[in-house]
Amino acid sequence: MGFPKDFLWGGAVAANQCEGAYLEDGKGLSVPDMLLGGDVNTPRTFLPKTDKTAFYPSHEAIDFYHRYKEDIALFAEMGFTVFRLSINWGRIYPNGDDEEPNEEGLAFYDAVFDECEKHGIEPLVTLCHYEIPWNIVTKYGGFSNREVIDLFVKYARTCFEHYKDKVKYWLTFNEINIPCMHAGGIGPLYGLGIMEEEDIQSDHHIPLTELKYNLQRTFEGLHNEFVASALAVKLGHEINPDFMIGNMIAHETTYPLTPNPKDVLACMNVDDLHNNFCGDVQVRGEYPSFMWRYFK
């Protein structure tokens, strides 16, 4: 049995994982640009300032920014028919709140999408794969500030209008449920751009497990992100009714420790919070009853 003719098979990257060129052609700093590398003996840390002696993986990455043509040619050799990638918000709006988009940033993704078309590969584009501009974190407090909803929608409009004839498949936020999954500040920081002021002002390397976490701000920020996503989806369909816009969940499989009903119920509660909550809101358009019980 073979795959259908229009079956989409491919692979995925994120701008912060592959592009490099972290300040080239007008790009601004984003959250992953502040995350240092590590190894089997050295935990990864976050430093809210640039340390020229430290190694930041996103600053160079695999240099997709300069090597995208040969990379996409290799994807074609593998038989890819779809390539999931993200647009770096900070490459289009370097500070997240700029009046006008960065034309060099727009031109880069034009070239990438043209190269995909040349090889018969459909781009599947994530608008925000953790690449929240650093200025959004420090100036606005990330998505805990309702003003950021409008900033994201403006960014989404720019992308939808500019690439409406080159991209059909879109995702608004990568792993939108990630702030629910980590008992620490890395999830809200990466997923929502929320970082506590004490950590922002820090001048030392902060282990990821020690980033401060505020439950109230996290769920307020996630609510604002839901609204931003919904408004972007509505806008996208107005700009091009043929757009296919989905949501993306990081599914975490859990198992009860024992068959004891208490363990089974605990496992179900974790599954609801980690995996089901955000998908329910985005697909059904309302908060599920189990989350109202959780909030209460």
67-100 pLDDT per residue, tens: 999 999 999 999 999 999 999 999 999 999 999 9
Structure confidence at residue 53 as a pLDDT band (50, 70, 90): confident
What value does the mean pLDDT of the chain take? 95
pLDDT over 90 (residue 240): yes
CATH 3.20.20.80 residue spans of the chain? 10-250
**Taking residues 152-174, what's their average pLDDT?**
98
Q: Map tokens 């805990």 to a residue.
A: 144
CA 234 centroid distance within chain? 19
CA distance 245 to 228: 14
Whole-number pLDDT of residue 183: 63
Mean pLDDT along residues 164-192: 93
**CATH class (in words) of the domain with range 10-250:** alpha beta
pLDDT for residue 244: 98
C-alpha 270/C-alpha 252 separation (Å) is 9
Q: CA 248 from chain center: how many Å?
A: 9
| 242-268 residue pLDDT tens | 999 999 999 999 999 999 999 999 999
Question: Which pLDDT value is given to residue 209?
Answer: 86
